Structure 1
Amino acid sequence: MSLLEINDLRIALNGEHDKQVVKGLNLSIEPGQTMCLVGESGSGKSLTALAAMGLLPPVLKPISGTINLKGEDMLKASASRMRELRAVSMSMIFQEPMTALNPVARVGQQIEEVLEFHSSMSKSARAKRAKEMMEAVHLPDVDKMYRSFPHQLSGGQRQRIMIAMALVMRPQLLIADEPTTALDVTTQAQILSLIRELREDQGAAVLFITHDMGVVSEIADDVTVLKLGEVMETQSVDNLLRHPQTDYTRDLLQSVPSQVPRLARAQTSDNIVLATQDLNKTYGGGGWFSRGREVKAAQDVSIHLNKGRTLGIVGESGSGKTTVARCIMRLIDPTSGKVMVDGTDIATMSQKELKPHRKDIQIVFQDPMRSLNPRIEVGQSIIEGPLNFGTPRHEALARARELLELVGLPASAVDRFPHQFSGGQRQRIAIARALAMDPDVLVADEAVSALDVSVQAQVLDLLAELQERLGLGILFITHDLGVAAQICDDVLVMQYGQVVEYGPAAQVLGAPKQDYTKALIAAAPGRHWDFANFRPFAEMAD
């Protein structure tokens, strides 16, 4: 008998039959099995999980079907019964632990709350069990971690706390909703290994929700592919990766960026549009009465970027890559060193002196929804920079319409608001806004990390097209080695603020010299698969 069996599940907006967002989904998971639920944003993956947990928002209602956990239909269970089942029979790891954890409660206390609600343990027994669970998820210095608040932990540590909370009552079903999306490759590999280990130790079944086919290849036993609420196919992971049955699955697989570096492009210009010399950024150092700990976020970083080329900076969270980008943009002030934009050192300029140079270097951030003003039309966001530099409004708006068409959106989009677009479309708008200043350098800070693989591929193609057409120099910040391999001409690897390795992408990613670079590459999910050709790399060698 299946542990979880979903039959003909239909979920609709306001319960209206013609507004279905999940359409007749069927799914079955056996004890000890890992089923990956795969699809792009809007496919219904998370809604299926929330329905199983009884956590759907009121505006979305199941209108037919069953969700049977050990033979009991979750859709017919009362609210009190669902509270009894959560954490004991089934539990969920959410995508973003910082929003799921209580920011004003210590993490040990939050794990204990699960035990307090679902068991009759004494306070001392709860504390002991919470610490045992923290050790089980391989957290360091458990006593210190137990007393810490969420903001004092790294992203990987917060996700481990979420896993500890989810598994502390030893549920039979674990639902993991994109638990590794925002993590760097080494932390991601650790979390995937941890989930496999805990599944084997506790015998739990896992419903793993993701859009990352590399992750699927690492953790899945079977895979169900969703598109717009409908099941496209269900297969074992090996069969799906080798013999996808639908065009949609084939397109998903072929959109995965290969970790084999692209062929090096010929350098067409010796014009250096961006360079740093011995760039340093140090935080801390103490206050009036004591000397605090100094953090050297960037140490003696020297780079150069030619017109029409892409330089990638890769590394784990905390490596200093974003600090370097923000120093280059002068969003923060470097402690020492030079930042040369078109031959001019802007590192020590005052904000007034800096203003004429701002147009030469523009940035695209990771989350366009946070960088675009939600209260004004996108056209107004695009023309804001040119207006500040004296461009007449009618000219700026005409240019905004041209730029929207250049990035693949209709000119009429100038009159719409950010929330009316998808994530990929908003990122295109952010690119158009950056291009409105006619920059020589575009800094892309994790600009595709939050996007589905197919949308990610479209944005990467767009950047390559714009670079070829406009001669942009692109500084590309990423933790995704596959993305770096596909878009970068040169790659700089950072760790703890220091440059570990720097050179052509084919050399750094194809034949790394440093152990740290090798470890990054070894941790990347899906590194053994040639997704575009539906086979492992080992078979290509044969």
Structure 2
Amino acid sequence: MSNNILDINNLRIALNGDEDKQVVKGLNLSIEVGQTMCLVGESGSGKSLSALATMGLLPSVLSPIAGSIELKGEELLGAAPARMRALRATGVSMIFQEPMTALNPVVRVGQQIEEVLEFHSNLSKSERRKRVLEMMEHVHLPDIEKMYRSFPHQLSGGQRQRIMIAMALVMRPQLLIADEPTTALDVTTQAQILKLIRELREEQGAAVLFITHDMGVVSEIADDVTVLKLGEVMETQKVEALLRNPQTEYTRGLLRSVPSQVPRMARELGSQEIVLGTDNLCKTYGGKGFIKKSREVKAAQDISIKLMKGRTLGIVGESGSGKSTVARCIMRLVDPTSGSITIGGKDIANLSQKELKPERKNFQIVFQDPMRSLNPRIEVGQSIIEGPLNFGVPYNEAMDRARELLELVGLPGSAVDRFPHQFSGGQRQRIAIARALAMDPDVLVADEAVSALDVSVQAQVLELLAELQERLGLGILFITHDLGVAAQICDEVIVMQRGQIVEYGPAAQVLGEPQQDYTKALIAAAPGKHWDFANFRPFSEAP
């Protein structure tokens, strides 16, 4: 008798049922009790669609046209909607990538977990509440009574993800599907979530289908790995066999694209020109009120940094450490409470918005999500020329420059007439970089600019930034929670914790020989730290 929880055989999914428009092309995989299968591939490979088909949640424009999906021998494809509703949570449950969009923002999180029990069990209200509190404790949430009453926006990213895990596991399903559950989390929270999923798998005997593009995460949690490319299976192997001896060039390329935790060779200091400097920069939220003062939060305290022309300064730390607050203060998207910000030899910390306008061409920002920062209703060429037009550049000249910049970032100049949704995620980020460069800035701030990208696209964008820096002499302030990315692109690194700098120095020193316990803990929590992915071996076996 089979010990498999999930069997997917020759699954084919097509757009509008058209056999010529298949997006999943003959997927085969099996997962046993207590086993974790990682489904790996770039965006568009069909990973999430396969998971949604298993849950019976495919959008109406997509449909399975062949194959079968069996949960403990029961066919799911073609099952009645009522049966699929009954199986969700009890038979198969899913953790989605972005908990803030999966959770209801106006309902307390405890009630949202309780809804699962209300629909799928006969427990009384008091019994449901008791089960929810037990589950919240089981996923290591602090102060569970307070958590039960909290709304999603009152929790951290890691806490929200734990709520999603509690919701998925409260009915003890046989199969847990985790769709990129750690992508946007910092390394310590990521390590906690991976440990939690391993613990719950062992305790509850569930099978896990873990979807990710992060090979570091794969090395930490997988038993077996299936690699997808454009809907087709490239290979399926035990995790160590795949990391040591990948069978296809595609898999080898994915592994070589993983940023190494080993810092790159230190570059000689070229120009001594300081393009960005801050002195005792502080940002405090709260502390005011009509009746009584609200609680003060010191998001950034006494931040003093220097960025040289042609150099990259990285800021790393956990969520809430103050990285993005510093970036937003430097960009004057929020006003600093005190301190100075010097760009191009001028202190901009206290300038009014009117005084600031002529200075803005000297510093530009690339945000984490280009789809949210680009206007979806106008062509990308119009987005790129908006800044130059505001500074008096003639339209035709600005548009010619836009075409040049698109070619500079590896896109055709003719793309000026297309809309953001017509590009992939990596291409949209290239457009965002081109838009920032249209102002010929001295300083480029990249705020988690590659954290949501596939490893291969991430590697391309990092290489692009390095090329642009070499060619244009840009000073880059690079905000990231990914220590591998910081190791590959940064000359100097700042480590922040609770709004303060805890370590600051050359990347090779800070990431290679950290002095502070907090930095050491960050490095120890990084997934895949023991593997030299590019050479297909653990670091312990390096010659």
TM-score by length of 1: 0.99
Which residue does 1:389 correspond to in 2?
391
Which residue does 1:58 correspond to in 2?
60
Report whether the alignment pairs 1:214 with 2:185. no
Which residue does 2:172 correspond to in 1?
170
Instruction: Give, in whole Å, the separation in 2 of the partners of 1:323 and 1:101.
Output: 25
Instruction: Give, in whole Å, the separation in 2 of the partners of 1:68 and 1:294.
Output: 54
What's the CA shift string for 1:71-121, capped at 9, x where partnerless?
011002110000111100111000011111111111111111111111110
3-state SS of 2:542 partner: helix
The within-5 A match list for 1:235-250 is: 235-250=237-252
The within-5 A match list for 1:525-536 is: 525-536=527-538
Which amino acid is the alignment partner of residue 95 of structure 2? I
Instruction: Give, in whole Å, the separation in 2 of the partners of 1:390 and 1:407.
Output: 24
Instruction: Give, in whole Å, the separation in 2 of the partners of 1:214 and 1:423.
Output: 21
Report whether the alignment pairs 1:343 with 2:339. no
Instruction: Give, in whole Å, the separation in 1 of the partners of 2:341 and 2:118.
Output: 55
The within-5 A match list for 1:91-130 is: 91-130=93-132
| Among 502, 513, 516, the residue aligned to 1:511 | 513
What's the CA shift string for 1:338-358, capped at 9, x where partnerless?
000011100001111111110
Report whether the alignment pairs 1:419 with 2:406. no
Which residue does 1:321 correspond to in 2?
323
Which residue does 1:331 correspond to in 2?
333
| Among 36, 49, 55, the residue aligned to 1:47 | 49
Which amino acid is the alignment partner of residue 118 of structure 1? H
Which residue does 2:40 correspond to in 1?
38
Instruction: Give, in whole Å, the separation in 2 of the partners of 1:518 and 1:407.
Output: 36
Which residue does 2:139 correspond to in 1?
137
Per the TM alignment, residue 490 of structure 1 is displaced from its structure 2 partner at its CA by 0.1
Which residue does 1:27 correspond to in 2?
29
Per the TM alignment, residue 406 of structure 1 is displaced from its structure 2 partner at its CA by 0.2
What's the CA shift string for 1:442-470, capped at 9, x where partnerless?
00000000100000000000000000000
Instruction: Give, in whole Å, the separation in 1 of the partners of 2:412 and 2:241.
Output: 40
Which amino acid is the alignment partner of residue 479 of structure 1? H
Which residue does 2:462 correspond to in 1?
460
Report whether the alignment pairs 1:474 with 2:476. yes
Which residue does 1:295 correspond to in 2?
297
Which amino acid is the alignment partner of residue 55 of structure 2? M
The within-5 A match list for 1:152-171 is: 152-171=154-173
3-state SS of 2:129 partner: helix
Per the TM alignment, residue 496 of structure 1 is displaced from its structure 2 partner at its CA by 0.5
Which residue does 1:353 correspond to in 2?
355
Which amino acid is the alignment partner of residue 51 of structure 2? A
Instruction: Give, in whole Å, the separation in 2 of the partners of 1:358 and 1:429.
Output: 19
3-state SS of 2:7 partner: strand
What's the CA shift string for 1:377-420, capped at 9, x where partnerless?
10000000001101001110010000000000000000101010
Which amino acid is the alignment partner of residue 377 of structure 1? E
Instruction: Give, in whole Å, the separation in 2 of the partners of 1:122 and 1:209.
Output: 35
Which ranges of 4 or more aligned residues in structure 1 deviate by more than 3 Å? none
3-state SS of 1:525 partner: coil
Instruction: Give, in whole Å, the separation in 2 of the partners of 1:404 and 1:532.
Output: 30
What's the CA shift string for 1:125-177, capped at 9, x where partnerless?
00000000000000000000001111111110010000001000111100000
Which amino acid is the alignment partner of residue 484 of structure 2? G
Which amino acid is the alignment partner of residue 115 of structure 2? E
3-state SS of 2:259 partner: coil
Per the TM alignment, residue 286 of structure 1 is displaced from its structure 2 partner at its CA by 2.5
Per the TM alignment, residue 423 of structure 1 is displaced from its structure 2 partner at its CA by 0.4
Report whether the alignment pairs 1:7 with 2:9. yes
Which residue does 1:274 correspond to in 2?
276
Aligned residues with identical type, % of pairs: 83
Which residue does 2:310 correspond to in 1?
308
Instruction: Give, in whole Å, the separation in 2 of the partners of 1:445 and 1:87.
Output: 37
Instruction: Give, in whole Å, the separation in 1 of the partners of 2:293 and 2:352.
Output: 28
3-state SS of 1:479 partner: coil
3-state SS of 1:51 partner: helix
What's the CA shift string for 1:421-458, capped at 9, x where partnerless?
00000000000000000000000000000100000000
Which amino acid is the alignment partner of residue 378 of structure 2? I
Instruction: Give, in whole Å, the separation in 2 of the partners of 1:170 and 1:351.
Output: 55
Runs of 5+ unmatched residues, structure 2: none
Instruction: Give, in whole Å, the separation in 1 of the partners of 2:28 and 2:458.
Output: 29
Per the TM alignment, residue 502 of structure 1 is displaced from its structure 2 partner at its CA by 0.2
Per the TM alignment, residue 540 of structure 1 is displaced from its structure 2 partner at its CA by 1.2
Instruction: Give, in whole Å, the separation in 1 of the partners of 2:170 and 2:37.
Output: 21
Which residue does 2:430 correspond to in 1?
428
TM-score by length of 2: 0.99
Report whether the alignment pairs 1:400 with 2:402. yes
